[in-house]
Amino acid sequence: MRVLSVFLLMSTGCGPKVILRDAVAYRAELDQHHKWATVQAGHLRTFIEAHCECGPPAEFSDVGCEEAANYVLIIEARAEWHKQMSLWNAGLLSEDQEPLETPPNVSTLECPLPAAPLDEE
């Protein structure tokens, strides 16, 4: 009986792993990651507008420029939604602040890039 008890105790493990984060630190990290993404997208937009060329029909003539432009459009459209969803999933937003279930649509990729949305920060 003693052997069975020891075996059962050793086979159960320690239960599910739970990591608790300080809410202030988590918010600060999310803010920093959001800023990195949005600032990078702004610089990349400036680079694209200055150095990338369009070819027919309204497409980028370089694959690298096309990929960079696609990144810019995704960040501009969805960065804020992802930040809010991360806060929501962490339980740091109230019920009335729940983000939409699906992220916003991304603008259609075309050359030249459509105008940048106005900063809401």
Structural domain of residue 83, as residue ranges? Answer: 22-121
> Is residue 74 assigned to a domain?
yes
- The answer, yes or no, to whether residue 11 has pLDDT greater than 80, is no
Question: pLDDT over 90 for what percent of the chain?
Answer: 54
CA–CA dist 118, 73 (Å, integer): 13
Asked whether residue 37 is assigned to any structural domain, the reply reads yes
Residue 7 lies in a domain: no
Our count of domains for the chain comes to 1
Residue 14 belongs to some domain of the structure: no
15-54 tens-digit pLDDT: 665 567 788 999 999 999 999 999 999 999 999 999 999 9
Establish if 94 belongs to a structural domain: yes
Enter the pTM of the model.
0.74
Judge whether 15 lies within some domain.
no
**Does 56 have pLDDT greater than 50?**
yes
pLDDT of residue 19: 63
Contact between 117 and 76 (Cβ < 8 Å): yes
Residue 12 located in a structural domain: no
**10 within some domain:** no
- Maximum Cα–Cα distance for the chain, whole Å? 80
